[in-house]
Amino acid sequence: MKLCIAQLDLRGKRIFLRADFNVPLSRDEITDDARIRAMIPTLEHCLTNGASVVMGSHLGRPVGRDARYSLKPIAFRLEELLGRPVPLAPDCVGPTAEKLAATLEPGHCLLLENLRFHAEETANEAGFAQALARLADCYVNDAFSVSHRVHASVGGITRFLRPAAAGFLMQRELIALARVLSQPRRPLVLILGGARVSDKLGIIRNLVPHVDRLLIGGAMAFTFLKALGCETGFSPVEPKLIPMAKTILDDARARGMQVMLPEDVIAATYPGDRHRIVTVPAERIPLALAGFDIGPATLIRFRDALRDAGTVVWNGPMGMVEQPPFASGTAELAKIVADCSGLTVAAGGDTVAAIQRAGVADQLGYLSTSGVAFLEALEGRELPGVAALSEMTGQPLAEERP
Is there a single domain that holds both residue 84 and residue 214? no
Is there a single domain that holds both residue 153 and residue 221? no
Q: Do the bridges between strand 264-268 and strand 278-281 make them parallel or antiparallel, or are there none, so unpaired?
A: antiparallel
Domain contains 402: no
Is there a single domain that holds both residue 216 and residue 82? no
**CA 141 – CA 121 distance, rounded (Å):** 15
Is there a single domain that holds both residue 304 and residue 278? yes
Is there a single domain that holds both residue 193 and residue 49? no
Is there a single domain that holds both residue 148 and residue 261? no
CB count within 10 Å of CB 320 equals 22
Number of domains in the chain: 2
Is there a single domain that holds both residue 283 and residue 373? yes
**CA 205 – CA 202 distance, rounded (Å):** 5
| H-assigned helices in 168-284 | 168-181, 201-207, 221-227, 242-255
Domain contains 246: yes
Is there a single domain that holds both residue 136 and residue 257? no
- Distances in Å between the Cα of 374 and the Cα atoms of 207, 237, 399 are 12, 25, 30
Angle, CA of 352, 355 and 361, to the nearest 5°: 95
Domain contains 400: no
Is there a single domain that holds both residue 127 and residue 203? no
Per-residue pLDDT of the chain (402 residues; tens, 9 = 90+): 899 999 999 999 999 999 999 998 988 899 889 899 999 999 999 999 999 999 999 999 999 999 999 999 999 999 999 999 999 999 999 999 999 999 999 999 999 999 999 999 999 999 999 999 999 999 999 999 999 999 999 999 999 999 999 999 999 999 888 888 887 899 999 999 988 777 777 778 878 888 899 999 999 999 999 999 999 999 999 999 999 999 999 999 898 899 999 999 999 999 988 888 999 999 999 999 999 999 999 999 999 999 999 999 999 999 999 899 999 999 999 999 999 999 999 988 889 989 999 999 999 999 987 888 888 888 778 899 999 999 987 544 444 433
Domain range spanning residue 166? 5-171
Residue by residue, DSSP assigns 51-103 as -EEEEE---S--SSS-GGG-SHHHHHHHHHHHTS---B-S-SSSHHHHHHHHT
Q: What is the CATH number of the domain that holds 270?
A: 3.40.50.1260
Is there a single domain that holds both residue 81 and residue 112? yes
CB 385 within 8 A of CB 154: yes
Instruction: Kindly report the pTM of this predicted structure.
Output: 0.83
**CA 396 – CA 392 distance, rounded (Å):** 9
Is there a single domain that holds both residue 105 and residue 193? no
Is there a single domain that holds both residue 105 and residue 245? no
Backbone angles phi, psi at 33, to 5 degrees: -100, 20
Domain contains 215: yes
